[in-house]
Amino acid sequence: MTTAPDLEPIIPFLVRTGALKFGEFTLKSGGTSPFFIDLGEVKHGRDLVFLGGHLADALAQRFPAATLLFGPAYKGISLATAAAVAAWHRAGRDLGVLYDRKEAKTHGETGNFIGRRPTPDDHLVIIDDVLTSGRTKLDAIDGLRAAFGVTRADVLVVVDRTTRRTASPLPVAALTTVPDLAAHLRAAGDSRWRIIQDFWENA
């Protein structure tokens, strides 16, 4: 389910920016999908402000005690940053931001993590584009616990891609879901809603 009724404009936003794509895609989980959420298409300041505002609203509603946002490389980096900026401008919440590298540097700021280091007292929220199997999010949480002793970590994604048959192994908050996408396209008279609905029911 969406995190709040006022987040419905997120779906027209995904359509307008071209972030919702149709075709034949291989997912990180190894499965295939007839549609794909590509937030690499969110590449202008106004769109990042819009998306950051929705993420900040969801954080306020679902995780009011959050103190630190973690953006997994690569797409999560801009999302966590946009959410933190929006949280400050909209509500005066000064959230820390942390992100990682795919490969550790050996010079300058070394290591895999950049930004505000977590402590065991932090309530950390992972901000990312999508959740499909949940495996990468679990791996990220395990890594943060091992590196920093993180004791509380939650997940907020733009789109929850889990299907009826593949429930997430961890709790997740999302701006929108696969059934939401199908319902919006159907209401808009877009016949591609059936592609998304069939995927949700049968994948």
| Residues catalogued as catalytic | 105, 107
Task: Choose among 20, 90, 100, 8: nearest CA to 49.
Answer: 90
Neighbours of 133 (CB within 10 A): 17
Q: What Cα–Cα distance (Å) separates residue 50 from each residue in 43, 82, 88, 193, 196? A: 12, 9, 14, 24, 25
Q: What Cα–Cα distance (Å) separates residue 198 from each residue in 35, 125, 177, 193? A: 11, 31, 14, 9
Measured distance CA(186)–CA(200) in Å, rounded:
14
State both tokens at 20: 């919702």
Length of the chain: 203
Cβ atoms of 69 and 95 within 8 Å: the answer is yes
Query: Strand order of the sheet with strand 68-71?
Result: 111-115, 96-105, 68-71, 123-131, 152-160, 173-177
